[in-house]
Amino acid sequence: MENGLLFKIEGMLSQLQSEDIKIFESCALPSSLDSKISDMVGLFVDLSAPEKEDIRANIKSHQAGILLTFARRMAELAVRENSKERIFEGLIAIGLHNSKYGDFRDEAVALSLLNNSALKIGSNPIELFESAANTFVNSAGDTFKAFLKRRPENQKIDVMGYREIYKSDGFAYERLPLGG
């Protein structure tokens, strides 16, 4: 690889192990893994379009799962920190997830949480989603645009099976109990 930035991102991705997903889903927010992925996402946006495609094409299934978990975590952290940057980071992670392993239903849940968080902190979700869409030159950008085209009631977190809660460590999203 001629580009040191590309090499660095590939190295960061290679450190994401399949066993990290279960730990990551339940660890404190923010965690050291959140910081590492946040750094990686920040570097990713500076790549050229072909380099971005190279990264996306080489994402493994377990890495995609970790990126999707990261996106959901950033929705919570965005509210705790009143940070639209965290929302943008979550969106970029979803764009990366959208590689070979994208399931729009899973992505729609994360997009709903990020959208809700943007509204909650007074940011414009349309601007954030469009900015993230412009980072990609492929179907990942289309994912954000498709979510924005949904009727507002179909973007809500309760439709996706979630609700807002406050825990001892701050704001969080919680799955609604099945059937209720």
Q: What is the pLDDT of residue 100?
A: 61
Q: What is the pLDDT of residue 103?
A: 66
Q: What is the pLDDT of residue 99?
A: 56
Sign of CA dihedral 136, 139, 140, 144: positive
129 close to 91: Cβ distance less than 8 angstroms: yes
Sign of CA dihedral 98, 103, 107, 108: positive
**What distances in angstroms separate CA 68 from CA 7, 137, 152, 166, 170, one per listed residue?**
22, 20, 22, 22, 21
68-95 pLDDT tens trace: 999 999 999 999 999 999 999 999 999 9
Give the DSSP H or E segment for 162: strand 162-167
pTM higher than 0.75 = yes
Residue ranges of the chain whose pLDDT lies below 70: 1-2, 99-103, 179-180
Q: What is the pLDDT of residue 17?
A: 83
